[in-house]
Amino acid sequence: MQATRSDANEIELSYRRYGPALLLFAAALVGERSRAQDVVHRVFLKLLESGSLREALNAKAYLFTCVRNAVLNDRKARQRDVVLDPECAWFEPPHRDFAAERNLRRALWELPEDQREVTILHIWSEFTFAQIAEVLNISANTAASRYRYALGKLREALSAKEDCRAHS
Amino acid sequence: MPILDDEQFESYLKEFRPLAPETLQIAKQPNRARRPLVVTMWAAACAASLLLAFLWWRGPRPTEPASTPQAVSSQSLTIGRANSLLVHAPSLKEAFDELSFQPQPASQPQGKQSALAVLSKDNIKENIKL
């Protein structure tokens, strides 16, 4: 069943609204921005082909779940380790501080994957822990706990890298 | 980096804006699917206006006056003339007679020849010489 015009508009609107966060989420799981973009595009193409977002109770959570499943399928199909592409930025940094952007990207990549995805979902996708629990199929407490660990590690890593920059 | 509490650190992290993905090309597909219809409609409109322009240019044809059998008889046989003969002839037999005995093309006056006849003779002579 192909999406109707209003469904397509809704999907397009969701793409514009959640696209950046979905791309970041996918990139944080696959490492490469181009692959992440492929995954996000595939999800939206499938949505346009198969129907609408109306059936989903929470469209935002549904989209993130779809992207996560697509990433896991993609990984299974490729059967190879994911590596961070050092050249492709994930963020537009404040004050055009591209070194800070690279440091943040690396610090995020060094986090365990389960902590990384919770961090991305909470900070840049603005999910509550209850919503994260729904997307990742874990409890809200687990999500909150992973987030606290992740935040501590991020702060530590970024402080260390900032100190290196200051001394060099 | 100064020591920040969790809230400040979160705010700092949120200053980094995730980059937007490339445009989803397929989102424009419904428009693309509609394009052939639009093109067809435009083509149809153009064809219709051309047809109207042609009809206007030709204008209404003057209606030919109904010809009498006498007048018709001197003309070449056409479907129109045959119809006219059938309508105006007193009997079917006379109409067929009129159709059957067509007047021969007018012959040239005495001492004059048509240019075509002269040329055709010249050609024959030249062919014989060769």
CATH code at A140? 1.10.10.10
Domain membership of residue A139 as a residue range: 97-168
Residues A13, A42 within the same domain: yes
Mutate to test the interface with B, among A37, A87, A123, A161 (most CBs of B within 10 A): A123
Q: Are residues A11 and A73 in the same domain?
A: yes
* Cβ partners under 8 Å of residue A33, min gap 6: A23, A27, A85, A88, A89, A90
Question: What ranges do the domains of chain B cover?
Answer: 68-101
| Together in a domain, A60 and A131 | no
DSSP-derived 3-state class of residue A57: coil
Q: Which two tokens stand for residue A81?
A: 């380790």
User: B interface mutation test: which of A30, A42, A45 has the most B CBs within 10 A?
Assistant: A45
Question: How remote is the C-alpha of B8 from its chain's centroid?
Answer: 78
CB contact under 8 A, A94 and B30: no
- Of residues A33 and A57, the one with the higher pLDDT is A33
Q: What tens digit of pLDDT does each residue of A97-138 get?
A: 999 999 999 999 999 999 999 999 999 999 999 999 999 999
Q: B6 vs chain A: nearest CA distance in angstroms?
A: 8
pLDDT tier at B63, thresholds 50, 70, 90: low
Same domain for A103 and A64: no
Q: What's this model's pTM, rounded to 2 decimal places?
A: 0.62
Predicted local confidence at residue B98, as pLDDT: 74
Least confident of A63-67, A154-158, B54-58: B54-58
Chain A residues touching B26 at Cβ < 8 A = 41, 44-45, 48
In chain A, which residues have their Cβ closer than 8 Å to the Cβ of B27?
8, 11-12, 15, 44, 48
- Please indicate, yes or no, whether residues A52 and A134 belong to a single structural domain of this protein: no
Q: What is the mean pLDDT of residues A12-38?
A: 93
Q: How many residues does chain B have?
A: 130
Cα–chain-centroid distance for residue A123?
Answer: 10
pLDDT at residue B25 in the model: 72
Q: Pick from A38, A60, A90: which residue ends a domain?
A: A90
Domain end call among A75, A90, A105: A90
CB contact (8 A) between residue A44 and residue B27 = yes
Confidence of residue A9 (pLDDT cuts 50, 70, 90): confident
Domain co-membership, A125 together with A151: yes
- CB contact (8 A) between residue B10 and residue A151: yes
Q: What is the count of structural domains for chain A?
A: 2
- Model confidence over B70-110: pLDDT tens digits? 544 455 667 777 777 777 878 877 777 777 765 555 556 66
Amino acid at A145: S
Q: What share of chain A is helix, strand, coil (3-state, %, to 5)?
A: 75, 0, 25
Residues A138 and A81 in one domain: no
Q: CB–CB of B19 and A48 under 8 A?
A: no
Higher pLDDT, A96 or A55: A96
The reply to whether A81 and A111 lie within a common domain is no
Which residue from A15, A89, A100 is facing B27, i.e. has the nearest CB?
A15
CA A113 from chain center: how many Å?
11
Highest average pLDDT, of A154-168, B5-19, B103-117, comes from B5-19
Domain edge (last residue) among A56, A74, A90: A90
**ipTM here:** 0.87
